[in-house]
């Protein structure tokens, strides 16, 4: 507990030093707001400071609480459809209807069998017969968990660049995993961190009558990471959703929190325009129209020299990060959620009429 308090104090001090756009609230109003936030969110005090709610120019009433957001989770993501988002093989079936936007899945594996499209299963030992260079992903994985690079050349196995064995591969495989082709990344994205495929997270809302772009940010790897997930200690920089230009600062969940350039390649963020940005946004909106049962989706978009590719779509449990750079979204989301629920009710009445 003491360690968590120290982390909060240290992180809030770093944020205050960076964000000097406004003075902090006086002690008593600050304490009252902090207690209100902690009560509604059952803690999560650190997010209070990350959102800058300790500043005079930030009103608590303008920000959507995680707990309030989650209260409608079942309406946002009907359980009977969730597998489209949570199972990568099911999402593959959906995205393959739009092959120009789809990554290429070579097949999938278990610890026992190897599966190629439209072929009978083979013993996993047969994988040594095929040359491949791919990324292996747990079909039910989150946050970059159970992901590794696999290369097989003339029967020799390399895992994350290190020579390995079939036995080690079997031990490393999750219960079920997809074998996905490694994409060629656009030079604009590659310059930040060549070892990872740096993707944009595009968040869209479907009100039932239109799809709205909420926010978008570029995620990028750090160090030896070949994935760009924030949970793996990587970083993200907001993208201006109107222009496709990166803002001037990236955020990391590790110290130092804020970065004006990538810590390793030293490439500055400000002024960089994301290639094929408008096309990517249009694609995400179009695809969300074809998944009308989901209120809000987070699309992971890669950018190749030929255009955007939709890696996956995700259910969202909170919008803390989005409110960091878009500001308080409570008023907008109250309207979006109201419209979404009303349109769903109209559909039900028509279906049972």
- The domain total for the chain is 3
pLDDT digits (tens, 9 = 90+) for 163-221: 999 999 999 999 999 999 999 999 999 999 998 899 999 999 999 999 999 999 999 98
Residue 265 in any domain: the answer is: yes
CATH number at residue 87: 3.30.470.20
Helix (H, G, I), strand (E, B) or coil at 19: coil
pLDDT > 70? residue 8: no
Say which residue, 139 or 229, is predicted with more confidence.
139
Residue 67 in any domain: the answer is: no
Question: How high is the mean pLDDT of the chain?
Answer: 88
Residue 275 in any domain: the answer is: yes
pLDDT > 70? residue 12: no
Burial 252-279 (b: 16+ CB within 10 A, else e): bbeeebbbebbeeeeeebeebebbbbee
Do 176 and 258 lie in one domain? The reply is no
Average pLDDT over residues 27-38: 88
Cα(90)–Cα(152) distance, integer angstroms: 26
* Domain residue limits at 52: 2-62
Average pLDDT over residues 263-268: 91
Q: What is the pLDDT of residue 70?
A: 85
Residue 148 in any domain: the answer is: yes
Do 166 and 195 lie in one domain? The reply is no
Say which residue, 42 or 9, is predicted with more confidence.
42
* Alpha helix ranges (H) inside 27-161: 27-41, 45-50, 66-70, 73-76, 83-86, 88-95
pLDDT > 60? residue 300: yes
Rounded to 5 degrees, φ, ψ at 93 are: -60, -35
Boundary of a domain, candidates 124, 150, 181 = 181
Percent of the chain residues past pLDDT 70, beyond the cut = 91
* Cis amide bond preceding 256, omega within 30: yes
Q: What is the pLDDT of residue 203?
A: 97
Q: How confident is the model at residue 37 (pLDDT cuts 50, 70, 90)?
A: confident
pLDDT digits (tens, 9 = 90+) for 110-134: 999 999 998 999 999 999 999 999 9
Q: How confident is the model at residue 328 (pLDDT cuts 50, 70, 90)?
A: very high
Residue of 235, 213, 226, 229 whose CA lies nearest to 283: 213
- By CB atoms closer than 10 A (0-12, 13-18, 19+), residue 150 is buried
Which residue matches tokens 């993707």? 199
Do 337 and 264 lie in one domain? The reply is yes
Q: What is the pLDDT of residue 56?
A: 86
Cα(243)–Cα(245) distance, integer angstroms: 5
Do 108 and 228 lie in one domain? The reply is no
Say which residue, 13 or 70, is predicted with more confidence.
70
DSSP string, 45-58: HHHHHHTTTTBTT-
Say which residue, 331 or 48, is predicted with more confidence.
331
Do 248 and 302 lie in one domain? The reply is yes
Cα dihedral value 103, 107, 108, 114, nearest 10: -170
């Amino acid at each position: 507990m003491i360690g968590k308090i120290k982390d909060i104090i240290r992180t809030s001090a770093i944020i205050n030093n960076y964000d000097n756009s406004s003075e902090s609230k006086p002690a008593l109003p600050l304490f009252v707001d902090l207690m209100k936030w902690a009560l509604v969110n059952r803690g999560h005090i650190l997010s209070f400071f990350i959102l800058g709610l300790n500043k005079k120019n930030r009103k608590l009433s303008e920000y959507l609480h995680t707990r309030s957001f989650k209260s409608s989770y079942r309406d946002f993501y009907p359980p009977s459809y969730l597998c489209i988002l949570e199972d990568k093989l099911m999402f593959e079936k959906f995205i393959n209807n739009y092959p120009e936007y789809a990554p290429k899945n070579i097949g999938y594996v278990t610890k026992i069998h190897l599966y190629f499209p439209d072929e009978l299963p083979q013993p996993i030992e047969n994988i040594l017969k095929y040359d491949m260079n791919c990324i292996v992903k747990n079909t039910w994985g989150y946050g970059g968990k159970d992901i590794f690079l696999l290369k097989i050349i003339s029967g020799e196995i390399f895992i994350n660049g290190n020579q390995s064995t079939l036995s080690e591969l079997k031990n490393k495989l999750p219960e079920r995993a997809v074998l996905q082709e490694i994409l060629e990344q656009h030079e604009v994205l590659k310059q930040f961190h060549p070892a990872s495929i740096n993707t944009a997270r595009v968040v869209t809302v479907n009100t039932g009558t239109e799809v709205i772009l909420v926010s978008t940010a570029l995620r990028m790897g750090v160090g030896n990471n070949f994935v760009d997930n924030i949970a793996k200690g990587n970083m993200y920089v907001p993208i201006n959703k109107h222009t496709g230009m990166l803002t001037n600062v990236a955020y990391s969940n590790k110290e130092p929190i804020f970065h004006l350039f990538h810590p390793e390649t030293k490439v500055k963020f400000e002024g960089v325009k994301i290639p094929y940005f408008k096309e990517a946004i249009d694609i995400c909106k179009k695809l969300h129209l074809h998944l009308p049962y989901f209120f809000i989706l987070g699309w992971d978009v890669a950018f190749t020299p030929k255009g955007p590719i939709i890696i996956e779509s995700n259910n969202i449990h909170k919008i803390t990060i989005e409110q960091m750079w878009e500001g308080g979204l409570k008023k907008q989301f109250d309207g979006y959620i109201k419209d979404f629920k009303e349109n769903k009710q109209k559909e039900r009445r028509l279906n049972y009429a």
